[in-house]
A and B are shown apart, each in its own frame.
Chain A
Amino acid sequence: MGRDDEPVDPMEIDGQQKLQVEASTAVPEGFNADYLRVYYGKLFPYGDFFKWLCYGNDGKHPGCDQSYVGRREFSFTLENDIYLRFQSFDSASELESSIKEKCPFKIDIGPVYSVDPAKRHAYAQSGNNVFVPVERELIFDIDISDYDDVRYCCSGADVCLDCWPLMTIAIKILDTSLRDDFGFNHILWVYSGRRGVHCWVCDSRARKLSNEQRAAVADYFRVYKGGENALKKVSLAGPVLHPFLARSYMDVLESFFEDKLLLSQQLFASEDRCQKILDLIPDENVASELHDKWQGNRPSSISKEDVNAARWKQLKTTLQSGKHKGLRRCVEEIVFSYTYPRLDMEVSKHMNHLLKAPFCIHPKTGRVCVPIDPNNCEDFDPTAVPTLSQLLGELNAASFQTDSENNWERTSLEKSIRFFRTSFLQPLLKACKEELESAYNAKLQQSKNSLNW
């Protein structure tokens, strides 16, 4: 493939690719600007992507705000780590040609501002702070690296199928609450490409939240208190749990803890790991009683039963026996500590935080930031997400067919784009249209009434 200093002619790439096909359709693993250029040239779903961010304002309806999408900030990170902030586009084709030309390694989406962000300096002169964010999806960012104290299979940016269920839990808990408690309907979950998930709540009500209201939603989800230096990271006060926490515990946390993480993370398999859990028991006598019990009890002696399951059972029986006052909450606190979602709060609290766009490629893994279906999030496998080179290989294999508009239909990206379109975009745009319609009619009615006066 062409990797010269000169801009590459797309035709040339085609020609060379076809040559490659004859040898083999496989493309060597990796991530580079040339691969990315083909992806942006043939696969990135500009149309759907841009339609999403227009929220219905690109139509012919007189109620449309034609300036809306042009006030949205995009930020590009180029190959040489140059940041291009405050980019803005009035149409899908403008966006498409800019992406194709600049070939950004990362695309971030910012808020919708009061004025076109590209022209912010012109407004800055007036000094009255007119350049401010006015709308932004409510977003959540969850990183598996924030769970390093409760997973033993990987650390840092690595994930595997043993710790990924922690992300599944986060999706289930947040998605249910955002829908049932907060009444949101248009929620997009996206794999971040390496170590976590992003959530975009796109209802117009969510987009209009103030920073204070965003913080309130984020805090509603927060059970962690005290940071690194507090011994007990989760403290559940009160004689019963709030309905949201109770439901999360009953429906998700408890079963994931007992059926999955207990074994996959081997939570009680060593002295250190046991001690970490015992540290969460406020009554020292109880903790040392359990500790002694496990000391003499070599794993081999607990016959067939798994040591983790056995010790968890003992701990539960002891704490829930009712002998010890004030320890009833403790079992729940342990489960919450090891399973409950950990949000990057700052991202959610402020309108002007940037978040990586869906369908980007993660430069380190080469994987596509694909949407995740919250209803089937158990089945999501981060290690099976299409990679850039895999997609190019599929494209090569299919290239005997004529080039068409929708090259992606012939790759494994198809499923993701279809899901984005049918499960997220179409219902969203339908709702946007209805809202536009009713807002417009209300306005008409109002002006009619004022004429009558």
Chain B
Amino acid sequence: MEIVPSRRQLDAAAAAGSGGTGALPTYRAAPQLEVRLEEFELFAIDRLRVLKGISDGLSRGKRPEEMEKLVSELWKTHMRHQDPAETLNKDIISHFVLRLVYCRTEELRKWFLSMETTLFRYRFRLETSESQKKLMTDFQLPYKALPRSEFEVVKDKLSQVARSIGQSANVESVFFKVPFEEVPDLVSSRRVFLSKGYAYVAMSQVVSLVVTQFRCNISKALVLTNRKWMATIKEQEKDRLTPIVEALSNAYFGPDYSQPKDAVEISLKDIDQLAKSSFPLCMRHMLDKLRENHHLKHGGRMQFGLFLKGAGLKLEDALAFWRAEFSQKVGSERFDKEYAYSIRHNYGKEGKRTDYTPYSCQKIISATPGVGDHHGCPYRHFGEENLRAALNKMGVSGHALEEIMDKVKNRHYQLACTLTFEATHGVSCDSGINHPNQYFSESQRVLRAKNQTVESKSAT
């Protein structure tokens, strides 16, 4: 892709050449076309709006049908152009620009990969079955439809699977028999029949096959782009593209909670007080359970431990904090032996020495706590009675409580948390809650401001 200051040459045919002739490109190769510097940035921002919208939708726990609608609306609003060739160009250019933006760290790559894959998944579902088949060919998927004779043998099982996921018992007639490794999403949700290592994928499910391939391609490409970026582009473009690229990723990703803000520190003795005043429900709950059972399982230790780190608990204090509880249950010797490592690991002091980032709401909401687990998002994972009781304990009741429960019913978990924040702090929180550490720091800010008013009042 050539970037030119102002002139432009759009060549829709060349762009389409990087994918099918349909409306959905496969982004296999960077197009040979020239892009104006302004468009470079504007297109990228528009695509980011789409990806950000998808990310929000996922964290609200939207159902597939709702996601389909959301994606199609986001696409229409931000990417559509009267001229289909222009739309296609914008699609391809913005994708390749964002590859540059998001290739640079593991975390950025992961986010981009996941959002682009989701975008592709829902756009694919909107295609006609003709162009879906075309795309399967473009991805060079080697699968042939299941022969009639084989189909008859497994027909009953296929029908049973269809009914188990709420579809009609009349089985579709076109199935593909593929290694189960190719369709992890269908396997994990038990949406396919498995036999002897093969998954029987219905025509209406081939999106999973194609998406696996898509994801794999983009993932490899991102690593390559990163190498190119580090080796040449970054230096070559340091006066032109590099600043834009760097600004684009920061502009979006929101605050970084891996390091406590403003050098705030919290100390051991304040934890209980702070939990009462400023921890979101998920974290209060885990602290309660930790104090009660002197133990938390892995998922809880990760979610809560990283939160405390983000809130400003130093490693030494963190070790003391966890030891004080765990030693009552497993003894301090076993704590030092089995658990201390992973705490130092979270602080980047062991293993591959990554400084781990506290979990965002999206990650917490998508967690799947099992028996004995206390992590996850209470708004999503608690039963109704337990949630009501927990909110009551926080001092939320009456109308506010009903409003929160209403959000929960509609699966707006982050909005429910935001409302809880507002009810307990008596202020509005326009930005919404996206991260437990954001909840904490907002809460601290509000409380500090209140204290100051009280102090200044008492001073006068």
Which residues of A are interface residues toward B (Cβ below 8 A)?
77, 81, 83, 131, 146, 149, 180-184, 205, 209, 212-213, 215-220, 222, 224-233, 237-246, 342-343, 345-346
- Nearest A residue to B367 via CB reads A227
- Nearest B residue to A232 via CB reads B383
**Shortest Cβ-Cβ A-B pairs, 9 listed:** A183-B197, A227-B369, A219-B188, A216-B184, A181-B194, A216-B188, A231-B383, A183-B196, A227-B373
Assess whether B373 is in contact with A243, with CB atoms less than 8 Å apart: no
Assess whether B370 is in contact with A230, with CB atoms less than 8 Å apart: no
Assess whether A205 is in contact with B197, with CB atoms less than 8 Å apart: yes
CA distance A122 to B180 in the complex (A): 37
Q: How far is the CB of A425 from chain B (nearest CB, A)?
A: 22
Interface code B221-261, partner A: CB below 8 Å = 1, 0 otherwise? 00000000000000000000000000000000000000000
- The answer to whether the Cβ of B92 comes within 8 Å of any Cβ in the partner chain is no
Assess whether B382 is in contact with A240, with CB atoms less than 8 Å apart: no
CA distance A384 to B186 in the complex (A): 42
Question: Given known contacts A182-B194, A215-B184, what 16 new A-B pairs fall within 8 Å (CB)?
Answer: A182-B180, A183-B180, A213-B181, A219-B188, A220-B188, A227-B369, A227-B371, A227-B375, A227-B376, A228-B289, A231-B383, A231-B386, A238-B164, A242-B161, A243-B157, A346-B299
Q: Given B165, B187, B370, which contacts A220 in the complex, CB threshold below 8 Å?
A: B187
Which one of B25-33, B71-79, B333-341, B391-399 contacts A? B333-341
Assess whether A146 is in contact with B333, with CB atoms less than 8 Å apart: no
Which residues of B are interface residues toward A (Cβ below 8 A)?
157, 160-161, 163-166, 180-181, 184-185, 187-190, 193-198, 285, 289, 298-299, 333, 336-337, 341, 352, 368-376, 378, 381-383, 385-387
Assess whether A342 is in contact with B164, with CB atoms less than 8 Å apart: no
Q: Which residues of A contact B165 (CB under 8 A)?
A: 238
CA distance A68 to B285 in the complex (A): 46
- Nearest B residue to A81 via CB reads B337
Assess whether A242 is in contact with B197, with CB atoms less than 8 Å apart: no
CA distance A231 to B386 in the complex (A): 8
Q: Which residues of B contact A222 (CB under 8 A)?
A: 368, 370
Q: Which residues of B contact A181 (CB under 8 A)?
A: 194-196
CA distance A149 to B373 in the complex (A): 13
- Nearest A residue to B390 via CB reads A229
Assess whether A180 is in contact with B188, with CB atoms less than 8 Å apart: no
Q: Which residues of A contact B374 (CB under 8 A)?
A: 227-229
Q: Which residues of B contact A244 (CB under 8 A)?
A: 190, 194
Q: Which residues of A contact B373 (CB under 8 A)?
A: 227-228
Q: Which residues of A contact B197 (CB under 8 A)?
A: 182-184, 205
Q: Which residues of A contact B298 (CB under 8 A)?
A: 346
CA distance A83 to B374 in the complex (A): 29
Assess whether A226 is in contact with B184, with CB atoms less than 8 Å apart: no
Q: How far is the CB of B213 from chain A (nearest CB, A)?
A: 14
Q: Which residues of B contact A213 (CB under 8 A)?
A: 181, 184
- Nearest A residue to B159 via CB reads A240
CA distance A238 to B337 in the complex (A): 45
In this complex, the member of A182, A237, A244, A342 whose beta carbon has the largest number of chain B beta carbons within 10 angstroms is A182
Q: Which residues of B contact A149 (CB under 8 A)?
A: 371
Assess whether B337 is in contact with A345, with CB atoms less than 8 Å apart: no
Name 13 interchain pairs, CB-CB below 8 A, sorted by A.
Answer: A146-B371, A181-B194, A181-B195, A205-B181, A216-B180, A219-B368, A227-B374, A227-B381, A228-B374, A229-B382, A239-B166, A241-B160, A243-B161
Assess whether A230 is in contact with B382, with CB atoms less than 8 Å apart: yes
With A243-B193, A244-B190, A244-B194 known as contacts, the answer to whether A238 contacts B383 (CB < 8 A) is: no
- Nearest B residue to A241 via CB reads B164
- Nearest B residue to A238 via CB reads B164
Assess whether A220 is in contact with B381, with CB atoms less than 8 Å apart: no
Q: Which residues of A contact B382 (CB under 8 A)?
A: 226, 229-230
Assess whether B336 is in contact with A243, with CB atoms less than 8 Å apart: no
Q: How far is the CB of B211 from chain A (nearest CB, A)?
A: 12
Q: Which residues of B contact A209 (CB under 8 A)?
A: 181
CA distance A83 to B341 in the complex (A): 10
Q: How far is the CB of A135 from chain B (nearest CB, A)?
A: 14
Q: How far is the CB of A145 from chain B (nearest CB, A)?
A: 9
Assess whether A229 is in contact with B181, with CB atoms less than 8 Å apart: no
